[in-house]
Chains A and B, each alone.
Chain A
Amino acid sequence: MKMPSKQEALYRTMHNANPPYREINQGIRGLRHWLLQLKEAPASILDVGCGNGKVCKLLSDMGYCVVGLDIVPGPYDRKGYKFVKHDLQLGFLPFKDDEFDYCVSFDVLEHLPQKWVGQAIYDMLRVSTDGIIGKVACFGRGKTELHLTVKPPEWWKELFSRISDKEMEYKVACSPAGKTLLFNTKTEEGELK
Chain B
Amino acid sequence: MKIAILTLTGQRDKYIDNLLAEQLRKYGHEVNVRNYIYAARETVCYEKPDVVIHPMPGGEYKYDFIKKCKQWGIQIIVRRGEAGMGREQFEKLDENRKSIILGNWDYSPYVDLELTWGREFTGIIAEQGHMPAEKIRACGAFAFDPYFPETKRETNPVRTILFATGFSTCDCRSEYCELGIKDDSDYHEEIYAIHRKARDAWISAIKQLVKWFGEDWRFELKVRPGEMEEEYVEKLPSKVKVHPQTSPSSEILKNVDILVHSGSTMAIEAHLLGIPAFNFCNVNPDLLLSQASPMLESYGELEFNLARAIIGQSNINESVYHELQEHLYGPIDGKACERAAGFIHEYIKDKHIETEIPNVWPKTTNYHDDKETIHLEKQDGDVRWLCAGCRNEYYAKPFGVTKCPYCGLRIEMTEKVTQGVLK
Contact = CB atoms under 8 A, between A and B. Distances in A.
Interface of A: 91-92, 97, 115-116, 118-119, 121-123, 125-126, 159, 162-166
Nearest to A90: B326
Interface in B133-177: 133-135, 137-138
Contacts of B119: 92, 123, 126
Chain A residues touching B, majority SS: helix
Contact of B133 (A91, A115, A122): A122
A91 B330 CA distance: 12
Contacts, number: 53
When A and B form their complex, which 3 residue pairs have the shortest distance between CB atoms, in order from nearest?
Answer: A165-B132, A118-B127, A122-B123
A162 B87 CA distance: 17
A119 B137 contact: no
Interface in B252-273: none
B135 A123 contact: no
Contact of A165 (B120, B123, B134, B137): B134
A126 B125 CA distance: 13
Contacts of A122: 122-123, 126-127, 133
B132 A119 contact: no
B326 A91 contact: yes
A118 B91 CA distance: 13
Nearest to B127: A118
B137 A97 contact: yes
A99 to B, nearest CB: 14
A128 B135 CA distance: 13
B127 A163 contact: yes
Contacts of B132: 163-166
A126 B87 contact: no
A165 B135 contact: yes
Interface of B: 87, 91, 119-120, 122-124, 126-128, 132-135, 137-138, 326
Given A91-B326, A115-B87, A126-B119, A165 B127 contact: no
B126 A163 contact: yes
A123 B123 contact: yes
B134 A119 contact: no
B134 A118 contact: no
B134 to A, nearest CB: 5
Given A126-B138, A164-B132, 8 more contacts: A92-B120, A119-B120, A121-B133, A122-B126, A159-B127, A163-B127, A163-B132, A165-B132
A97 B91 CA distance: 25
Nearest to A125: B133
A101 to B, nearest CB: 15
A174 B326 CA distance: 39
A127 to B, nearest CB: 11
A162 B127 contact: yes
A111 to B, nearest CB: 18
Contacts of B326: 91
Contacts of B123: 118-119, 122-123
A103 B137 CA distance: 18
A123 B326 CA distance: 14
Given A92-B119, A118-B126, A122-B123, A165 B87 contact: no
Given A92-B119, A118-B126, A122-B127, A163 B87 contact: no
Contacts of A116: 87
A119 B87 contact: yes
Given A118-B126, A118-B127, A119-B123, A165 B91 contact: no
A91 B323 CA distance: 11
A14 B173 CA distance: 60
A32 B248 CA distance: 58
B98 to A, nearest CB: 14
Nearest to A119: B123
Contacts of B133: 121-122, 125-126, 163-165
Contacts of B124: 118-119
A166 B132 CA distance: 9
Nearest to B132: A165
A159 B128 CA distance: 9
Nearest to B129: A162
A121 B120 CA distance: 12
A97 to B, nearest CB: 7
A157 to B, nearest CB: 14
B99 to A, nearest CB: 16
Contacts of B91: 115
B116 to A, nearest CB: 11
Contacts of A126: 119, 122, 133, 138
A92 B133 CA distance: 14
Nearest to A161: B132
A99 B4 CA distance: 30
Contacts of A125: 126, 133-134
Contact of B134 (A92, A162, A164): A164
Contacts of A166: 132, 134
Contacts of B134: 125, 164-166
B269 to A, nearest CB: 25
Contacts of A119: 87, 120, 123-124, 127
14 contacts: A91-B326, A97-B138, A115-B87, A115-B91, A118-B127, A122-B123, A122-B126, A122-B133, A123-B119, A162-B128, A163-B126, A164-B134, A165-B132, A165-B134
